[in-house]
Structure 1
């Protein structure tokens, strides 16, 4: 496929469904249908819930894979130590274009996610529950689910107050500190320093933070118990998992499968090419596998890591043999660079340098540019304000390791002889043929695109707008933007809208001409 993924793609279950139970009965499980499909959840004290999470080896399913039991214990410890009641934050942002599993859960089984979050909130004695989303569909479904349960942020007589937070659809919006910051009324950006949510998260309170699938898995495990939960899946990583499969498949899908399922079986179910040119696992912060390696592994965190891959956010993306995987990598590398929040040098400067070095290598730059790629990746790893630079570097370096023959052909001869099909999903560009309020085609390069304006109460002088739109923005000696009050030409509309979207402080806007 090409183009962005739908919010809620088709869902397949390999074996008996757990997270997706009831999906054959209803498009969205309301409170009543949810209880018919899953039954009522039990109530577990904090130590029992942590023991359950530890017994089933439940790790976060958002990418980092941190053990949930350790998170629960850390939040409980810091809550006792500080005397502050903790908070629970559900991350349903899923700003990565190749992932839809959390969105599917929030849109089709929101009460299962809320069950897990409320189990944790009750066990920890939390007084605040926040669900973060980026999409209209998820926002509507979660709001309806909170209303169906009578949960609100306004009913002060309740021991628990619940609310939904909508953040911009960007990769960094789902980073833990960024979402917690947005839930506290700030911008959806990392704060520029590493913060442990379990120690000081939402409003300074110890905060349990995990993604939607993790809470849904906790709700299923609480109902089944550790023994029944472990009756399916790999012995050391029991249960099922959700995978978003896209790329070179007829249509994207979300698949619930037992852990340990052979990766080629997942690809076969989604009608992928049986001889792909490579498979990206874990998403755009994940890693590439060549075809023989991908078709010889199973889907567990341990097995994928052993062969150089990563479970990550659960995305699986085969590319066709006729498309250049390094060209696909370069497309995504440029997007990852543009997703920078512009707050630290490794991200703001290092990721564009990494993408540029990769482009030079693929154009026949030779050994010198290849070394520049590795140097740029090394320069950003472990030095960012969040994990975005680390993930982007891992993604690019894995392509160099997985496709050495293609890399040699590009570096020495300027190409491998294959086109880049563009099958890895990225956000849709602004429509070039949209019609503005004057009836003039926005794609017309002679039509005015509007005027850039800055809200000086918000601008922090990051300077990202000048890098994205140097034709219209320059920086003064203090690093703040200087913008002409003349209208922009139509040819700059898309890039101006991109600059507005990427402004870390949300201070830039595009006014109609």
Structure 2
């Protein structure tokens, strides 16, 4: 079975899901009507009127994207790219759209391509599961000349620059410099790139018209939004709905706190989470972010600090390793959280580590990770105090926050303490993962080994004079979806 899908009030993107497991072309046309393809000026006006924003996390105004790419209509061959990477754990909304309403996504892409007079539509999909099979079948059903690109499923794979690099056959990591995709994207051509839900929203907007589209939501943020709650339920809700209503609809509560916006988002206290409106403005004012629509309540019975440390370790290992804030800064944040967990450090250490590389990363990954950690030490202040005083809270770390890896020691550096003589060579070869204590013995960070560290990690194992360092087998990525 796939994720549970539900809705608050009348559905739009998920219309027909109560009757059909998947909307093929005939069902799609019966539910959503015939395709309407407005000219660019009309499409931009509609997107402007409802302030349609990208739903992949950055919330960039879609009309501005259209306008920026549209400037090249007479001089360049424009590409339209659907970013279906969805590499962040806890997000399933784009997967649901591709598997159950693939023609709605294709409608949006066709509408944009027609308006921009583009001859190429590209859909970049992570993984080889049902989402890829469903969109491939939909493309064949419509006989569309759409190019499918399969992406490696990693946290950073959904960043726009990483997607363009993947489509171009390059290493799928952020480029490290600011590149305007609207001017220089696929094969150096002007490119309209947006997230899966954004194209589905564009199709709904084109079908309903701006006035009907704005009939739900708020006056400043019209329409509906898809949220993934608890890593297992996708819910469509009008923008402005209290988050507590959404949680109740999904059969859950705010628990010990709620993470909104995913692992680059922010934590909310249970009291705030219950009443905050689901909107960009509402969540930002409360200290969170709408981001890609990920909502993760932290259930009771697990150590909040342990969960935060576990996720931060994952984020440190998922970086591209292109800059100092990622290579050395993120491991330092993990070390500071570990020190806080065992009572040997305090929140100030986390704040210091998180602030060192702020604003200096090659992409947004270090800043987003720092925001996640800093938000946690504010919201879980009471739990942190117990850790400081007692060296722990007494609760296990149950792994309630979703990760795409099987944890338990795989893919890590380990020390055989019966052999280690404290030569310290390993810390010089792999400073990202190993530091020396005051006696010169290694302190190994309990995190997975990033791809960009693997060669040095193997070198450290081979060169250890006492043969005390070993490298366990790589992590095996678990299937997140059926």
Q: Same fold (TM over 0.5)?
A: yes
Q: What do residues 453-501 of structure 1 show as CA deviations (whole Å, max 9, x unaligned)?
A: xxxxxxxxxx9558458763349xxxxx999xxxx99x82245x68xxx
* TM-score (ref. length: structure 2): 0.85
Tell me if 1:270 matches 2:253: no
Look up the match of 1:42.
36
Structure 1 vs Structure 2 CA RMSD: 2.4
Look up the match of 1:317.
296
Aligned-pair CA distance for 1:412: 3.7
Q: d(CA) in 2 for partners of 1:128 and 1:192?
A: 26
Cα distance change of structure 1 residues 374 and 430 upon mapping to structure 2, 3 Å threshold: closer
> 1:290 aligned to 269, 277, 287, which one?
269
SS at match of 2:473: helix
> 1:144 aligned to 137, 142, 145, which one?
137
Look up the match of 2:353.
376
Whether the 8 Å contact between 2:73 and 2:117 is mirrored in structure 1 is: no
Q: How does 1:330-369 map to 2 (within 5 A)?
A: 330-367=309-346
Unaligned residue ranges in structure 1 (runs of 5+): 1-5, 153-161, 434-462, 476-480, 499-513
Q: d(CA) in 2 for partners of 1:128 and 1:363?
A: 55
Q: What do residues 233-268 of structure 1 show as CA deviations (whole Å, max 9, x unaligned)?
A: 122111111010116xxxx21001111111111111
Unaligned residue ranges in structure 2 (runs of 5+): 411-448, 478-482
Q: How does 1:145-164 map to 2 (within 5 A)?
A: 145-152=138-145, 162-164=146-148
Q: d(CA) in 2 for partners of 1:467 and 1:148?
A: 44
Q: How does 1:15-414 map to 2 (within 5 A)?
A: 15-80=9-74, 83-135=75-127, 136-152=129-145, 162-246=146-230, 252-273=232-253, 276-367=255-346, 370-414=347-391
Q: What do residues 283-322 of structure 1 show as CA deviations (whole Å, max 9, x unaligned)?
A: 1111100111111211111001011011011011111233
Q: d(CA) in 1 for partners of 2:28 and 2:381?
A: 49
Look up the match of 2:428.
none
Cα distance change of structure 1 residues 235 and 494 upon mapping to structure 2, 3 Å threshold: same
Look up the match of 1:505.
none
Look up the match of 1:442.
none
Q: d(CA) in 1 for partners of 2:10 and 2:389?
A: 51
Q: How does 1:455-466 map to 2 (within 5 A)?
A: 464-465=450-451
Q: d(CA) in 2 for partners of 1:356 and 1:432?
A: 17
SS at match of 2:291: coil
Q: What do residues 404-454 of structure 1 show as CA deviations (whole Å, max 9, x unaligned)?
A: 222222234322333322111101318999xxxxxxxxxxxxxxxxxxxxx
Q: d(CA) in 1 for partners of 2:100 and 2:323?
A: 38
Aligned-pair CA distance for 1:345: 1.9
* TM-score (ref. length: structure 1): 0.80
SS at match of 2:236: strand
Whether the 8 Å contact between 2:317 and 2:450 is mirrored in structure 1 is: no
